[in-house]
Amino acid sequence: MYQSFKDFLQDELDGIREAGLYKNERIIVSPQEAVIRLKDGRQVLNFCANNYLGLSNHPALIEAAGNALRERGYGMSSVRFICGTQDLHKDLEAAIARFFGTEDTILYAACFDANGGVFEPLLGEEDAIISDALNHASIIDGVRLCKAQRYRYANADMDDLEKQLQAAQAQRYRLIVTDGVFSMDGNVAPLDRIYALANQYNAMVMVDESHSAGVVGATGKGVTEQYNLRGKIEIITGTLGKAFGGAIGGFTTGKKEIIQLLRQRSRPYLFSNSLPPMVVAAGIRAFQLMEASTLLQDKLHQNTAYFIERMGQSGFDIKPTQSAICAVMLYDARLAQEMAAKLLDEGIYVTGFYYPVVPQGKARIRVQVSAGHEKEHLDSCIAAFAKIGKELKVIPA
Ligand SMILES: *Cc1c(COP(=O)(O)O)cnc(C)c1O
């Protein structure tokens, strides 16, 4: 049978290539940080990692991970409830709850698993999930695994959310679900208005803080800090794979009864391995750093503000952002691809995004600013954008 299946797969792959959607992976041979080395020998400035606080190769995290590796070993060889829980896991769960001002936390192998395992144990057929149309794929998949009735509202559109809430009034329990920061535009979900509508229409709220935690809010504690809603949101999910060290791991944090039930019934928690001690220890260290000072968060905010101001002065069209995601709008897919390639030749590593990742005619280059960037890195990036922007007539010469 495989011969015919192989032909079928080859056709699929050819189709992806012909549509210009085939994803190639660039090989990096250095640690993840502001300056990275590629396998072809090039050294480039990295502006496309989710390394928002510059912790991916931070000495304090490496030391914590190294100590835990020596003292607590490499792997746990178990799920949490059999023999996979060390004191470190409990400490990290407590640190995450302190950071978000929540009651309890449950760790997962990734936020993909946190979102995959959050809906099905909590809600049933008689309930409703009301989800933003631009929510992350893992939320969409998690919702698919749950029998609750599904409602969708246009991205951050509060009139539409209200309509969906009205339509969902017959259901028993209602849960509104949103990303904290949407990864293509960098816009923050209007959580103040979502929360008000939730109260008005008797619903609960879940926020995925993957792109917002460590970034958004006066001290980087996420969208609940930005909107003064700490401790008021029932469910928050997030990742250790972005601002908090960038290794691996996810979590759900919130009301303690919710977390307790997830420990009993959430399938990616019950049937998947426990996080390795070194990752957990480095995670604890990341939260200690953020508790001790807001140096990294402040630097990220300064870097982002500086980058946006200078790029605007150069004449680039930057989507309004409240996060560290800066969408440089080019509108044309080919232009976005060409510009990203030319920027790489200038030593700036950024990614072009175009349909179907973003709407047709809304192609862009996404720049992700980090606390790991120094001023000279930002200046080099801005200068390269200006040079190539003029060359490609994106900005006036
Ligand atoms: C990155 C991301 C995830 C996935 O996180 P992992 O820990 O890498 O699985 C989930 N949700 C959102 C909104 C994300 O941006």
Instruction: List the CATH number of the domain containing 24.
Output: 3.90.1150.10
Q: Calculate how far, in angstroms, residue 130's C-alpha sits from the geometric centre of ligand 1.
A: 19
pLDDT of residue 293: 96
**Predicted confidence (pLDDT) at residue 136 exceeds the cutoff of 90:** yes
Asked if residue 136 has its Cβ within 6 Å of ligand 1, the reply is yes
Q: Is residue 13 included in any domain, yes or no?
A: no
Task: Judge residue 153's burial from the number of C-beta atoms within 10 Å of its C-beta, 0-12 exposed, 13-18 middle, 19 or more buried.
Answer: buried
* 202 & 63 share domain: yes
Confidence tier at 21 by pLDDT (50, 70, 90): confident
* 267 & 139 share domain: yes
Confidence tier at 166 by pLDDT (50, 70, 90): very high
Mean pLDDT along residues 368-392: 98
Mean pLDDT along residues 158-185: 97
For the chain, the maximum distance between any two Cα atoms, rounded to a whole number of angstroms, is 65
**Predicted confidence (pLDDT) at residue 333 exceeds the cutoff of 90:** yes
**Predicted confidence (pLDDT) at residue 18 exceeds the cutoff of 90:** yes
* 351 & 265 share domain: no
Return the ligand 1 atom nearest residue 136 CA: 13
Q: Of 231, 260, 292, which marks where a domain is finished?
A: 292
AA letter at 70: R
**Predicted confidence (pLDDT) at residue 20 exceeds the cutoff of 90:** no
* 25 & 119 share domain: no
* 27 & 86 share domain: no
The residues, ordered by sequence, that sit 6+ positions from 373 with a Cβ below 8 Å of its Cβ are 34, 45, 47, 54, 303
pLDDT of residue 22: 87
Asked if residue 132 has its Cβ within 6 Å of ligand 1, the reply is no
Query: What predicted TM-score, i.e. pTM, was given to this entire model?
Result: 0.96
* 84 & 152 share domain: yes
Asked if residue 243 has its Cβ within 6 Å of ligand 1, the reply is no
* 281 & 310 share domain: no
Question: Which tens digit of pLDDT belongs to each residue from 32-85?
Answer: 999 999 999 999 999 999 999 999 999 999 999 999 999 999 999 999 999 999
Distance in angstroms (rounded) separating the CA atoms of residues 287 and 296: 12
- Annotated active-site residue 319? The verdict is no
* 74 & 112 share domain: yes
Q: Of 228, 257, 292, which marks where a domain is finished?
A: 292
Task: Say if residues 135 and 208 touch (Cβ distance below 8 Å).
Answer: yes
* 330 & 319 share domain: yes
Q: Calculate how far, in angstroms, residue 186's C-alpha sits from the geometric centre of ligand 1.
A: 14
Task: Say if residues 33 and 51 touch (Cβ distance below 8 Å).
Answer: yes
Average pLDDT, the chain: 97
Return the ligand 1 atom nearest residue 139 CA: 11
* 351 & 263 share domain: no
Asked if residue 138 has its Cβ within 6 Å of ligand 1, the reply is yes
pLDDT of residue 358: 92
pLDDT of residue 19: 86
Q: Of 252, 268, 292, which marks where a domain is finished?
A: 292
- CA-nearest residue, atom 2 of ligand 1: 210
Mean pLDDT along residues 125-130: 98
* 94 & 198 share domain: yes
pLDDT of residue 283: 98
* 190 & 42 share domain: no
pLDDT > 70: what percent of the chain? 100
- Annotated active-site residue 370? The verdict is no
Q: How many CA atoms lie within 13 A of 45 on its CB side?
A: 24
What range does the domain containing 120 cover? 59-292
How many domains are there within the chain?
2
Q: Calculate how far, in angstroms, residue 109's C-alpha sits from the geometric centre of ligand 1.
A: 11
Which residue among 58, 221, 242, 373 is the active-site one? 242
**Predicted confidence (pLDDT) at residue 312 exceeds the cutoff of 90:** yes
Q: Given the structure tokens 């997830």, which residue do they identify? A: 262
- Annotated active-site residue 211? The verdict is yes
